[in-house]
Structure 1
Amino acid sequence: MARFSFSAQLVLLSVALVFAAPQGDWLGDFDDKEHFTDEADTFFTDEVYKQAKDFLAHFFDGAAETSPVAKAAKRPFKSSLEEMQDFFGLKVTGKLDSKTLEVMQKPRCGVSDISRYGHFHGRPKWEQKTVTYRITQYTSDLKPSEVDAAIAQAFKLYSDVIPLAFTQISSGTADIMILFKARAHGDFHPFDGPHGVLAHASSPGPGEGGDTHFDEDETWTLSARGVNLLLVAAHEFGHALGLDHSRDPTALMYPTYNYVDTKGYRLPDDDRRGVQGLYGNIVPGPPTLNPTPTPNQNPNPNPNPNPNPNPNPNPNPPAIPEQCSRDLVFDAATSMRRELYFFKDGYFWKKSSLFNQIQLTAIKTVWPQISSVDAAYEVPEKDMVFIIKGNQYWGTRGYTAMPGYPKQISQFGFPQTVTKIDAAVYIKHTKKTLFFIGLKYWSYDESRGTMDPGYPRKISQDFPGIGAKVDAAFENYGYLYFSSGARQSEYDYRRRRTVRVLLNYGWLNCY
């Protein structure tokens, strides 16, 4: 199968994951058959010999060349086989044996294994700080929300380690266009049906650069069954960012496809070093929009920082909040896909039910438009979280900011006098969102998209025992949690009573 297409201005390098040994027309003679085995008791059929030669022709014979003419000038079989054995850490014999054949038949990516320092030739990369992506066609194997989440998580593996943000858009042309389609799909690289080529992507660049396609004939899953979308997408997006293959068997960009547990999965060290070699590192602490200092900027001779609403990044970032302070006051809190998020001073702590470690993350590394959070709430039926700051709010799906935001909070139905929301929480069985502002609260009907009549009402009147004012609120396992200062009330909404009183810091593994 051809792996390269050409135009007058752009060479588009296509990358594919292969779930079986290469298929197709077997070409070439076998006058060098003496190089095929050094095992006297091993018998290989002619078809196996042909597969081995086809494998080397596809991945190692002139693989560094992008021209079909150059690739036609093939090297001796033995030289290609020795290079392949060396790449995979096998015993270099120049002869086919069972271990070498086993590696050839593993699931793998379809691009050549010849690379320069793990980067594509010429080191192509995205020059902008925000890369957009759009999914134009979804798979029927998963819900669209599940696809959105997996794709966003795959991109986040990279945005966690490099100063690059990824934003999903729902219309127009994105930097990276994504689709699921079987067979021919308009890029001169048709898929070959189930259990063959899984996906392919192009390296960064204008036009179709970075575009990523998934074979709809495969069975896409979020588990070890079928084909795991997160792992395949993360591998392909590595190519879309400029990474080639790695020789490290533990790397995501290693040529062969291997399932690993994706719970808490992070970019392996080899891949992290490779992508940081292209885009740089995230500086510890709150990142700025431009993490590389400009050398010709003159420092301010006045060392005394003054409050300044200037949107430029603050050279004196706020201190990291103290996690285990008994006086900890949350700015906001929300659930998100069965995990809890607690916001404070430009950061958030994430608490997962799957592992004990509490993660602290700068808000801007996930949602670049948002510097801090006043209130947040989740509507699970929509797979949406709404983040509120001042008189604006954003809709997010996982870590993906949805298009069309920010919007004004007045669109909820608030009067113009309301310019800030203290807390918000969604009640599942009533499908109402409660907004807390000062000493009062409002009830918003998510189904109708309107405020309920008769509001605002006093918090102390309808929720006795939780305090007169709410700083943060969230739902967890059927209970509501209202924070007022450092104190928190666990509240049974159906019975309208406080169950117990806690301290905020107890959620962060502080005892």
Structure 2
Amino acid sequence: LFYSISVENKMKSLWCFMLLNVVFSSALPVEPIPSTEGENRQLAQEYLAKYYEPQGTSKHFKMSNDIPIADKIRQMQGFFGLQVTGKLDSKTLEMMKKARCGVPDVAFYSTFPGDLKWKKNDLTYRIVNYTPDMSPSEVDSAIQKALKVWSDVSPLVFTKVDSDDADIQISFGVREHGDSYPFDGPDGQLAHAFPPSPGIGGDTHFDDDETFTAGTVGYNLFLVAAHEFGHALGLSHSSDPGALMNPVYSNIDPRNFHLPQDDINGIQSLYGAPIGPVKPTGPTTPEPCDPNFFLDAVTTFRGEMMFFKSRFFWRKHPQMQETELHLISSFWADLPTKIDAAYESYEKDMVFLFRGKNYWALNGYTLVQGYPKSIYEMGLPKTVEKIDAAVYNKDTRKTLFFVGSKYWSYDEAQKTMDQGYPRKINLDFPGISITPDAVVEYNGNFYFPQVARMVARIYRETDREMHTLISL
């Protein structure tokens, strides 16, 4: 079930090993796109032409032409951390359909003449017109907050003016709006901005066919604007899925937004740090090969593995070498940004995700209506405030919930807790002396990775004994 570990890998964390190397004996093929789906192929061609081989000779978005389409697909797959095949598979198409920024993903800024930054720190901006989706005061507030994201971590200062010679001209338009880079209607491309330069440089345009809001319904103007202003200041796209400058829109709660460290590093490489004794820092994207890394939850998912950490999750397909990293909010805007525990129910074809006293259900990638529900509806006592780990046994159709030093057994068919629980974990699972971070079941075996001791153990239901799988 697992690859052997070479000597040079033994210093890596156990989770790094699991994330990058675990494979199951039964594997599902990567789903290709049927050849009859001409509409999808047309979408892919337009996407690649727009973001990986832009047309035209503008100095802003110029790139060499005549790149084979398979090479462009590989480039796109590599940028987003997908399996690099050069083929239009379902996951590649899925990524192409996500709402995103209209600026290309390749390193276009290397083609711009001169420095890719403003030669001054005091910049002016003008809001040329307003979207009817929001009140002018809401738009003003969203724009001001979006600029403040960057001024808080750099020496930049932004001043609103009502002048044609403002450094950054901000406007809303639809389709062809005067810059030779037309918008595409609802969804798809949300906005675009031009890098620092005379004339159109710094100008930021929003597609008014979108529904912009101050909340989480529609597209949050603050989040879209903060990203676009990164371009207006000289930043290109980041392949870090947690970065603000990642091209794909992520519907996070703007009230909890903190500029990620990747973006802070980028803007400070251009303009330096702000004046003051305290240097701002931001959240980072987790690195599974960090020896101190541990996961929040892990579960199977229709033949794949899903690993959760903070606001991120990894997808590992058994036939893919790469492990995909995504923001939870990029798939499920209504889920919490951190998951405590997760398990898959094969009979129900659902994945259940737990956070605090509540849990949610997924059917495929769709949130099931009627959730979240309380964990107490399952029969857990009110003394339980969160579930540390969960695992479903498809042979017994029972789900085990691990909480502290104890665990409960839940009968999925009867929807009740079994009698005689909770029981001590260390009595029934010898060798597991600490609260599990996560547990996953496969072929009747329970996998208990323990980062603190750098071991992974299997509990085999057939002989009810614990076996050491890996010891690093």
The TM-score with structure 1 as length reference comes to 0.45
Greater RCO (Cα-Cα under 8 Å, separation 6 or more): 2
